[in-house]
Amino acid sequence: MRTLGLTVCAALLSLNALPAPSMAQSPQQAAERMEGFLAGFPDLGPGYAVVAVTADDVLLRHVQGVSRASTGAPLTADTPVYIASQTKAFMGLLAARLDAEGVLSLDSTLADHWPDVRFPDGVDPADWTLRDLLSHQVPVSADLIVILEAYVTRIDPADYPMLIEAVMTARKPGFDYDNLGYNLYGAILETATGRTWQDWLAEDVFAPLGLEHTSARTSDFSLQDQSWNHIWTGPEEGWFEVRPKTDGQMQSAGGITTSPNDMITWLQMNLRGEGPDGSGLTGAIVEEAQTIAAEVSRDARNAYELPCYGYALGWNVCDFEGHTLYAHGGGYTGARTMMAFSPDLGVGIGVFSNSDNMTGWLTSRTMIQFLQFVIDHEDAEMWMAERQRQYPQRIERLLDMRRESVEAHRNAETFGDWSWSPDVEALSEYAGVYENPVMYAPVTIRVEGDGLRAAWGDYAFTGAPARTDVFGLQQHPLDDVTPLIFERDEAGEIIALSYEDARFERR
């Protein structure tokens, strides 16, 4: 299989070093060229949407494909799509507003809110502010908290102190992008005000902007009306559908669904630098959200392949050919999205894909392609052709890599030779509820077909028999196989299971 050659890679990197050309065409002409760019991809399925704006005009509203492969329901400009980590920019604006209105100060410290919580050695909570949390600067890690919030269940803010003391560790100081800071901020916000971050967003950001197809709760939309995520498993089986997140999996670092039309409104507000009259989103509040709070190394790797030098409240601040660019992507199982705006160029773009079929690469490249058209970059047409050529090759390579990874995991010694075939009666031995206080949510096991259905909170898997008392867990056919191992006592009774290096005892 062909891959991107060294010459092409060098040329791609060199784009960032070229002098900034002048805008030789109108943004509308750039949008018209984008239609040709998008038409050059034979399959952007199941659904793909691109919107482009100035502060006052809609330049492009391109929506194609379906919101769910099995039903053929169309993807429309009003279909809510999960945007994952782009949530951070909305939370950043909310935080700036709550700070300005005296509800929750960005300069208050962790010690102010959790005075009795023991943080890791070397981390003084009095030294770190909520602004530091939202700009990824507090030098702590807690993978379990991040996983619980994003995949498993809602954590009660009252339980955060316990989890902090049980699983948090210190990390190297400096900027380090992570969900944790936003999770901590959301818990502090609810503790301080008695209202969830979802309710605050709905009242102070979504409603004032008139975002009618945007929510931090998937239950606000029917399953038929929102976009599902998709994973390409190959021409034989086609698209594997990923059900929308539950409300319990919607978290303050990645918990919003929004539509292409609402993204238009959001980007235009950011370009104008203030919300509509009466919204309460003043110029000062928007400016606070867009002000760099953390310095970032220009050499650090990022999804945009641009020199990014700062992080504001939920925005990467980057350089595109001498022009300031605010950008943020979003990724989750079966979906990739991207948004960006440039005050210098006066344009913004939002890109939605309801698959993860190399669309992390494609959504960012769609953004860059539009900006290259806006400045009439001399190599824009060459890169359009190159990206159109590369995409099918990248899809094929990704599928091959995923299949190889699944096979490698299946061949692990833990699983034996996969010859075990228990009947329903034998499988029923494993059914039940298993608990570990630190892991927070229980694991429930039930029989499903010729295997098991395992769920850690809302995080669900199928469990295929491998060898006695060992099952292989997968969320989808191309998911790496994870061992689920059951433990028996001396009498042969099942008393516990092990999952992800944690032991859960049978209730």
Q: Does residue 418 share a domain with residue 396?
A: no
Q: Could you tell me the CATH number of the domain that includes residue 89?
A: 3.40.710.10
Segment 350-359, tens digit of pLDDT: 999 999 999 8
- The per-residue pLDDT for 1 is 30
Local structure of 97: helix, strand or coil: helix
| 372 and 487 within one domain | no
pLDDT at 392: 94
| 13 — pLDDT class (breaks 50, 70, 90) | very low
The answer to whether position 18 is within a domain reads: no
Rounded to an integer, the average pLDDT of 1-5 is 33
- What's the pLDDT tens digit per position in 123-152? 999 999 999 999 999 999 999 999 999 999
Domain boundary residue, one of 389, 410, 431: 410
209 and 254 share a domain? Answer: yes
CATH number at residue 500: 2.40.128.50
Least confident range from 23-32, 177-186, 289-298, 458-467: namely: 23-32
Per-residue confidence band for 42, with pLDDT thresholds at 50, 70 and 90: confident
What totals of helices (H) and strands (E) does the chain contain, helices first?
15, 23
pLDDT band at 234 (very low <50, low <70, confident <90, very high): very high
Q: Are 463 and 415 in contact (CB under 8 A)?
A: no
Mean pLDDT across 87-115? 98
Kindly state whether residues 397 and 440 are assigned to the same domain.
Answer: no
374 and 440 part of one domain: no
Asked if the model's pLDDT at residue 304 lies above 90, the reply is no
Longest distance between any two alpha carbons in the chain, whole Å:
80
Report pLDDT for 460: 96
494 shares a domain with 349: no
- Residue range of the domain that includes 447: 414-506
Domain C-terminal end among 410, 445, 460: 410
Query: For the chain, how big is the Rg over CA atoms in Å?
Result: 24
456 and 326 co-located in one domain: no
Alpha-helical segments (H) within 225-274: 260-272
The pLDDT assigned to 170 comes to 98
Over residues 182-193, the pLDDT tens digits come to: 999 999 999 999
393: three-class secondary structure by DSSP:
helix
> Is the same domain home to 418 and 405?
no
d(CA 476, CA 497): 22
Length of the chain measured in residues: 507
379 is a domain residue: yes
Is the pLDDT reported for residue 16 higher than 80? no
Q: Does 160 reside within a domain?
A: yes
Residues 486, 430 share a domain: yes
Give the mean pLDDT of the chain.
94
pLDDT higher than threshold 60 for residue 2 = no
State both tokens at 460: 């669900």
pLDDT for the residue 43 = 83
Q: Which of 356, 376, 410 is the last residue of a domain?
A: 410
Which pLDDT band, with edges at 50, 70 and 90, does 300 fall under?
Answer: confident
Rounded distance, CA 330 to CA 195, Å? 26
For residue 336, tell me if it sits in a domain: yes
pLDDT band at 301 (very low <50, low <70, confident <90, very high): confident
The total number of structural domains in the chain stands at: 2
Mean pLDDT of 466-486: 97
Identify whether residues 421 and 403 lie together within a single domain. no
Report field, pTM of the whole predicted structure over 0.85: yes
**Quick one: CA dihedral 112, 115, 117, 120, positive or negative?**
positive
**Lowest-pLDDT range, 297-311, 349-363, 453-467, 479-493?**
297-311
Look up residue 13 and give its two tokens: 């990197």
User: Do 219 and 73 fall into the same domain?
Assistant: yes
Show the tokens assigned to 348. Answer: 């913004």
Are residues 139 and 264 part of one domain? yes
- Long-range CB pairs of 108-117 (<8 Å, 24+ gap) are 110/138, 110/184, 113/188, 113/191, 113/192, 114/160, 114/161, 114/164, 114/188, 116/161, 117/161, 117/164, 117/165
CA 279 to chain centre: 28
